[in-house]
């Protein structure tokens, strides 16, 4: 249905595109070499609607909701790994895989979250090593009976709070084991759903307890800082925390500025009219690294599948223009249960990579010279012209060199997977 360009045609188009970009001082060969070394971390929870494989009862969403009932979500760890591999085959470039703690494989045993161990993720580590990819990790501070009142690391009940601290420590030990297995650092992101639905009286107390909990987790000598890289993630509001979120942007930015941990920016965790691209140049003046969660909110933090829109373009423009692209860990964070889940992975990852490629192909020096000379009409004119430059021809070459379908031809493979596998589950 969707014809694929021949390698010869891709080569011809790429040669013409190289000439166009080189006239502006950009070498697409250098750009593609750089692209090849920038990994995107795909998130496991897109494949099964954030359900995981935990053995427990009385579970609530805890601020997490995957909407939709498209057939064929993964229901076992083996099935999820198979689906991830199907997505990998349609995505060019370097990839990582991002796990949550609830994706532990404990057999028939119900293992409390504060007692999970690296052995419960051994299958994941073996799988990643076989594929030559690295793993990232997340404690799961939601969807648990001890999170049902809406508070975990900031809980006023010290026993509950300590349970979640032990969970965070256990997760960092698991991340350390993953890092040793893969021979590279494991990124560990900490997000909690803690907050009030309406008009809390005490807004400072929970934040004091959150500082205490984070300090306890990170002070524990359980993961070498070179192996386990931690980030803290803010949010504007969540389900059940519409009025007050303990881990707000102001809280976590202040924490990250006074502690070694990275700040995580999620594209959907701010006001609907607020974007994160302007925050990069402010925060990265003070931090060595950052974590970006690539997502797309529609009217609220709805975690829509990422597409190649203006917000995404502006984010990667700033990462490149500020010279921090190689200091940024890029991870996807969306989950749509209303469409083919493998397709969601591929659409979102390829869109993210295209935004990265467009930013790397930008003639920043020329644009900066216009700005310095107050030639702002010329600057805007060139920015507009760049939108129709032959990005696609360079993208097709990136796909060809990674032995991945270019253009829209990969959709035929998705249709085949959907009809022959997903809808027959």
Per residue in 49-75, pLDDT (tens digit) is 999 999 876 666 666 778 899 999 999
What amino acid positions are annotated as catalytic residues?
Answer: 191, 233, 235, 266, 269, 293, 301, 303, 333
In the block, tokens 């991870």 appear at: 331
- 113: helix, coil or strand? helix
- pLDDT tens figures, 120-158: 999 999 999 999 999 999 999 999 999 999 999 999 999
Q: What is the structure's pLDDT at 224?
A: 62
Domain 39-360 belongs in CATH node 3.20.20.150 = yes
Q: What mean pLDDT comes out for the span 341-365? A: 98
Q: Could you state, in order of their start, the residue ranges of all structural domains in the chain?
A: 1-26+363-425, 39-360
pLDDT at 239 over 70: yes
* Torsion 159-161-165-171 (CA) sign: positive
pLDDT at 1 over 90: no
- The reported pTM is 0.96
What are the angstrom distances between the C-alpha of 246 and each of 64, 208, 232, 249, 398? 16, 10, 12, 9, 43
Computed over every residue of the chain, the mean pLDDT equals 95
Q: What mean pLDDT comes out for the span 267-272? A: 93
- pLDDT tens figures, 375-419: 999 999 999 999 999 999 999 999 999 999 999 999 999 999 999
Query: Using CA atoms, how far apart are residues 136 and 376, in angstroms rounded to an integer?
Result: 42
Cα–Cα nearest to 352, from 137, 91, 138: 91
pLDDT at 222 over 90: no
Q: What is the DSSP string of 24-64?
A: TT--HHHHHHHHHT--EEEEGGGTTTS--S---SS---TT-
The proportion of the chain whose per-residue pLDDT surpasses 70, expressed as a percent, equals: 97
What are the angstrom distances between the C-alpha of 323 and each of 260, 285, 372? 21, 11, 18
- pLDDT tens figures, 4-56: 899 999 999 999 999 999 999 999 999 999 999 999 999 999 999 999 999 87
Q: What is the structure's pLDDT at 203?
A: 97
Cα–Cα nearest to 292, from 139, 283, 228: 283
Q: What mean pLDDT comes out for the span 268-287? A: 95
Q: What is the structure's pLDDT at 300?
A: 86
């Amino acid at each position: 249905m969707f014809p694929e360009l021949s390698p010869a045609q891709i080569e011809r188009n790429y040669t013409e595109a190289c000439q166009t970009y080189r006239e502006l001082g950009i070498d697409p060969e250098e750009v593609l070499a750089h692209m090849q070394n920038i990994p995107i971390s795909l998130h496991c929870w897109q494949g099964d609607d954030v359900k995981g494989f935990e053995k427990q009862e009385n579970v609530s969403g805890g601020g997490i909701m995957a909407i939709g009932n498209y057939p064929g979500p993964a229901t076992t760890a083996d099935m999820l790994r198979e689906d991830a591999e199907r997505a990998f085959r349609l995505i060019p470039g370097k990839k990582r895989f991002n796990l949550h703690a609830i994706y532990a494989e404990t057999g028939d045993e119900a293992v409390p979250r504060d007692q999970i161990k690296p052995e419960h993720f051994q299958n994941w580590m073996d799988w990643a090593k076989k594929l030559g990819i690295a793993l990232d990790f997340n404690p799961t501070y939601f969807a648990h009976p001890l999170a049902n009142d809406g508070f975990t690391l900031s809980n006023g009940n010290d026993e509950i709070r300590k349970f979640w601290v032990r969970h965070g420590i256990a997760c960092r030990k698991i991340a350390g084991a993953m890092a040793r297995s893969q021979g590279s650092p494991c990124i560990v992101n900490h997000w909690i759903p803690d907050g009030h639905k309406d008009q809390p009286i005490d807004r400072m107390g929970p934040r004091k307890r959150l500082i205490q909990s984070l300090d306890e987790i990170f002070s524990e000598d359980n993961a070498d800082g070179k192996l386990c890289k931690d980030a803290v993630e803010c949010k504007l509001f969540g389900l059940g925390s519409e009025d007050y979120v303990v881990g707000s942007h102001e809280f976590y930015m202040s924490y990250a500025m006074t502690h070694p941990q990275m700040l995580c920016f999620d594209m959907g965790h701010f006001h609907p009219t607020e974007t994160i691209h302007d925050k990069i140049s402010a925060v990265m003046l003070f931090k060595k690294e950052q974590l970006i969660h690539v997502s797309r909110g529609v009217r609220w933090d709805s975690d829509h599948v990422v597409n190649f829109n203006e917000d995404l373009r502006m984010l990667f423009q700033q990462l490149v223009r500020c010279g921090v692209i190689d200091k940024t860990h890029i991870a996807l964070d969306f989950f749509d249960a209303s469409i083919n889940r493998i397709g969601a992975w591929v659409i979102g990852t390829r869109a993210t990579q295209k935004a990265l490629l467009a930013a790397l192909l930008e003639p920043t020096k020329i644009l900066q010279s216009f700005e310095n000379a107050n030639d702002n009409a010329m600057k805007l004119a060139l920015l507009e012209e760049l939108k129709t430059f032959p990005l696609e021809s360079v993208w097709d070459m990136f796909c060809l060199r990674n032995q991945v379908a270019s253009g829209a031809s990969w959709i035929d493979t998705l249709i085949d997977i959907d009809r022959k596998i997903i809808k027959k589950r």
